[in-house]
Structure 1
Amino acid sequence: MKRCHANFYTIYQKWVGFLDPSAADDDLKAGTNVEIPLWLAESLQSRRPPLVSVDLPKIYKDAYREILNADACTVDMHKLGQYFYELGCYVAKHDIKGEVAATLENTFKQRFRMLLSASVSTDTLSTMQPLSASERKRAAAAASSENALSAWLQRGDCPLTTANMVANHRKRKRAEMEMF
């Protein structure tokens, strides 16, 4: 069993050497920095002993967090990362301090207000900074809902009226207030 285990790591190390195109050997040296997909880094880190240490992607590091916390509405989210929120949720579990999750929440709150107000008028939405994929979906859904509400209100065939239960409830409350 031990021999098979040792062979697995030997093969594994040779395979990992191909991840660095500048490597001369099939094996990576300790301390080598290589950009690999997050799913692969996570599986390599979960081994005992861990084979890699995972750093946060640059868009979730301090410099970008400061920009996003200052004014997220001015940031080109498409350029920063088309799937900024989705990747951020995945990356947040590797952030020990919890700063990534707080930045994601703050960024979403700031940009959601902007998206909501811009969805009322389509000309404002087109003048905004490019949006991430999830923001585009939310903006399209908000614009669609706004258009449907406007069309329903303009139809006028079903005006809103107060329900009898609500009207009777108000009368009872008023009667009770007059008693005291």
Structure 2
Amino acid sequence: MNKPSYYPNYYSIDDVMITQERIPSRALQNLFGLGFLDTSEKGEHLEANHQLELPLWYLLQQDERNPSFQLVIPDIFTTAYKEIYKADASYVELGKLNKFYYELGMYLCKFETGDDLASMLFDTAQERIKGIKDMCNNVSSENLTDNKKLEYMERILYEAGSKSHKMFSDWLQEKSVNIKSTELVTNHRKRKRDEMDDDEVNSQVSQRSSM
């Protein structure tokens, strides 16, 4: 699995997949000869206010001075869902809502006029990281492939966290074994020394008795 790309990266497969996401949009003017952009449109042209979905990479490449389309923020990043996340973000199936929830949201912040989306992403991540930490501390053989609760970045955090937790547990176990082995060796040497001392004392007693 590739590492997440927090900034646009032309050679990142993950970034390519994220920017391929189709986003709700509407035409800002009559667009001649662009009817093919909407597979459900039978006409050759697109009229102003026509609703369609376009890949994010196309919307990012628009001329900001004279855009042809206006991006519509998807519902999962709106205020309505913000209340759901605020109620209990840990139970939301982010992976089901969108596989690349956080990274797509960071891209969409560019089209948001306020800071609501950015703060929602931060608050949601902050709340959910607690659950991921608990999962890492209770590493099991659970297969996350069918788990819709975690999105892409959260899966990476879980895998890194569970691996670190396992390494730490193995280290503690190895240290415990080494300490126990050291104690056994020390006790064995002590017993052997005591036995030698007893033999020496017995030997001296025998010599005195024979005199």
Q: Shorter chain as normaliser: what TM range? A: 0.7 to 0.9
Deviations 1:65-97 (A, max 9, x none): 221122110101111111101101111111111
Shift of 1:129: 6.2
Larger Rg: 2
Q: How many residue pairs align between the two structures?
A: 145
Q: Deviations over 1:156-177 (max 9, x none)?
A: 249xxxxxxxxxxxxxxxxxxx
Q: What is the TM-score when the length of structure 1 is the normalising length?
A: 0.72
Q: 1:30 aligns with which of 38, 48, 60?
A: 48
Corresponding residue for 1:107? Answer: 124
Q: Which residue of 1 aligns with 2:80?
A: 63
Does residue 119 of structure 1 match 2:129? no
Deviation at 1:125, TM superposition (A): 7.0
TM-score of the two chains, using structure 2 as the length reference: 0.62
Tell me the CA shift for residue 22 of structure 1.
3.1
Give the gaps of 5 or more residues in structure 2.
1-30, 180-211
Work out whether residues 119 and 125 of structure 1, in 8 Å CA contact, stay in contact via their aligned partners in 2: no
- Report % sequence identity: 30
What does 1:1-150 align with in structure 2 at a 5 Å threshold? Answer: 13-14=32-33, 16-44=34-62, 46-123=63-140, 130-150=149-169
Compute the RMSD of aligned alpha carbons. 2.3
**Equivalences for 1:148-163 in 2 at 5 Å?**
148-156=167-175, 157=178
- Greater fraction strand: 2
C-alpha spacing 1:69/1:13, structure 2 compared with 1 (3 Å): farther
- Counterpart of 1:22 in 2: which secondary structure? coil
